[in-house]
Structure 1
Amino acid sequence: MPVSEIPRILKRAEQYVRQTKYKEALALYDQAIRLEPRNPECWSQRAGAKIEMERFADAVADCDQALALNPNQADAWSRKALALSQVGQYVPALAAATRASTLNANDAVAWYVKGICLEETGKSDEAEIAFAKSLELEILLDIKEEKNRIRR
């Protein structure tokens, strides 16, 4: 299978994740990684599936691989932050969430995880700011989705 098939493979894998068919999704992510092991998006998306499966250590390893290939991959930072926060590693999760929100200021998940980490490390005032930003972004995303739904 040619490397040009990777976007199609990743899209299908994402569909499997949404359907909670994780075994099928992981098989496709593995296939994409075999085809193009230096593609950080493949590693990052597989990390997302592993987070859904609550395989947080494996997700962090995939994020680290994605970030070794592209240290500016915002989604990998965001997923790493989420995985680390799920296992109570709030200080490194905060660092990852901060990097994610710096690279992509519109990443609601990164802002939410940042809020959790700030709260857990005793920085309640800063946490409130991060939570507010996350909520603002979620509302904007909901409005955008609704507009797109109406156009269809």
Structure 2
Amino acid sequence: MAITDVRTGLGWDSHRLVPGGEGGRPLILGGVRIESELGLDGHSDADVLTHAVIDALLGAAAMGDIGEHFPDTDERWRGADSIALLEHVAGLVAGAGWTTTSIDATVILERPKLKPHKAEMAARLAAAAGIDVGRVNVKATTAERLDAVGRGEGAVAQAVATIVRAS
């Protein structure tokens, strides 16, 4: 009789918003560049959505966190494409014998509206994680003008990933 090992991991990330546009920081979420006068500040491309997904996968597989794998003190990761980081982590998870079965994520950001970009974000995340797009859900909401995110000072993302291993 085969017993299936199922694990779930939780990821969370936040970054400050800074001037974007020409010559500024881009707004990249789920690997998608979104037109905005503000971008996210960080050592890599500061893609909070992809970072949350990375941490969810690492957590589910008990493999540490994003900071252990890609520390912001390491210049190799300056300006890194977070989708490439997710591809690497998905490979680590698969190499340890796990199959990712689902990813559910939420971005919390006042503006711009993300609804027109959610399907593309889900597709980029699914491709990087090596799973069918139907197993990835991306949601977007605001903080209703509460706290720093609600005042437009930053963005937050949360993600849950489920992985399985048949033994």
Q: TM-score range by the shorter chain?
A: under 0.3
Greater relative contact order (Cα 8 A, min sep 6): structure 1 or 2?
2
Please give the TM-score of this superposition, normalised by the length of structure 2.
0.25
More helix by share: 1
More strand by share: 2
